[in-house]
Amino acid sequence: MFQPESLIPDFPILDQSIQGRRLVYLDNAATTQKPMAVLLASRHYYEAINANIHRGTHHLARLATETFEKARSTIASHLNASSSDEVIFTSGTTDGINLVANILSLSGRIKPGDEVLISVLEHHSNIVPWQMFCERTGAILKVIPCFEDGTLDQDAFHALLSERTKILALTWISNCFGTVNPINEMAKSARNVGALVLIDAAQVIAHSHIDVQAMDADFLVFSGHKVYAPTGIGVLWGRAEILNSLPPWRGGGEMIKEVSFEKTTYNDLPFKFEAGTPNIEGAISLAAAIDFVNDIGLKPIHGHEEFLIRYAAEALAEIPGIHFYGPSDRAGALSFNVDGIHHYDLGTLMDQMGVAVRTGHHCCQPLMARFGITGTVRASFALYNSTSDINALAEATRKAVKMLR
């Protein structure tokens, strides 16, 4: 049986009180806390390895390079990538999406009138880069609508999909509602019309197994801080044949083979897309986080978190006037409002009771507009959360509601 209480000592930040109450951290969709394995990996890098990579012959430079490239291999193995060359280090999901949007806009593949297909469930980071992309290329942005339960309208998706569709950029799990999209089926349909497919896996990486070779996607992005690693590090996975065919975006050191004032020859994958000194410590710490998760096992983590979401929905359902958003079969997050109470007021009072939740539009303003609301209260879960955390969430919500009515 999964015992999250046994993992709490691995997370020093959880051993504190807020307003005299035990901290209950339920804002994991925004960022996860860091285990000792990750904190120690970060510290060890700076204390024993710190040097720039790929450019030096001295001992520390070689050790830093070896450790950095081992981290890339760890992540490639975790994703079941066909080669570690397909793993590009970025600063996070947003950076990865922007990288893809920019290299595609520079490639000459997209013509005026071509179409980019996204969904109403997208985070702003998977909306704004494509709006900018369309402004640059003359492409047209199309949006897949959703039903009242927060699931995507598959009939509308297939109606929007055509030979004009050149890119499908889709979130796997909604950061707002926890909706799990059928990305394999949707990606296959998009590939059948010749479209490239990008998957935003920011809300998947900490909860479920990812096998990029089994997917019909061309690109997949995620952020390290969603999976117990530091902020400022992320991954873009891309099929080697696609990445090799696309031009670099940023220019500088590392992404070159030879430079003269007349001509520059670009480097091979993955370095072609990694201009400048990367976040070396971040990549090493991300690998440590991946190892930490795999040591526990994604299958038991997934089962535990599925149980927590059901338990939370049942505990909160007893509160009069509560309204949940998204399907009953959700993952990672549970969003709700209470009639007559602003989500910000509710979250503020819950914080005073030691319960950390997220309030607002969660960087999904078009989705909020679709449901006629300005935001929600969102509780989101991680492997260290327990039923006692859910009980505290329910108690804090009930008390806050009583105070605000």
Mean pLDDT of 10-22: 93
Reply yes or no on whether the pLDDT at 1 is more than 80: no
Closest CA to 96 of 252, 240, 200: 200
Reply yes or no on whether the pLDDT at 157 is more than 80: yes
pLDDT tens digits for 364-387? 999 999 999 999 999 999 999 999
pLDDT for the residue 283: 98
pLDDT for the residue 256: 87
| Contact present, 404 and 337 (Cβ < 8 Å) | no
Question: Considering the chain, what is the average pLDDT of its residues?
Answer: 96
Reply yes or no on whether the pLDDT at 166 is more than 90: yes
Reply yes or no on whether the pLDDT at 127 is more than 80: yes
Share of the chain above pLDDT 90, in %: 93
For residue 186, what pLDDT band results from cuts at 50, 70 and 90?
very high
Mean pLDDT of 385-404: 97
Q: Angle at CA 68, nearest 5°, toward 64 and 73?
A: 145
pLDDT for the residue 308: 97
Please state, in angstroms and as integers, the Cα–Cα distance from residue 30 to each residue in 56, 175, 379, following that order: 37, 8, 10
Taken in order 279, 283, 242, 194, the sign of the CA dihedral is negative
| Contact present, 300 and 351 (Cβ < 8 Å) | no
pLDDT for the residue 255: 87
Catalogue the active-site residues. 363
For residue 213, what pLDDT band results from cuts at 50, 70 and 90?
very high
CA dihedral 327, 330, 334, 337 (to 10 degrees): 0
Question: If residue 119 lies in a helix (H) or strand (E), which one and from where to where?
Answer: strand 115-119
pLDDT for the residue 4: 87
pLDDT tens digits for 243-252? 999 999 999 8
pLDDT for the residue 2: 82
pLDDT for the residue 243: 98
CA dihedral 147, 184, 333, 316 (to 10 degrees): 60
pLDDT tens digits for 19-43? 889 999 999 999 999 999 999 999 9
Closest CA to 246 of 223, 263, 266, 220: 266
Domains and CATH numbers, the chain: 4-30+297-404 (3.90.1150.10), 39-294 (3.40.640.10)
For residue 311, what pLDDT band results from cuts at 50, 70 and 90?
very high
pLDDT for the residue 46: 98
Question: If residue 61 lies in a helix (H) or strand (E), which one and from where to where?
Answer: helix 59-79
pLDDT tens digits for 329-349? 999 999 999 999 999 999 999
pLDDT tens digits for 70-90? 999 999 999 999 999 999 999
Closest CA to 334 of 364, 369, 308: 308
pLDDT for the residue 151: 98
For residue 68, what pLDDT band results from cuts at 50, 70 and 90?
very high
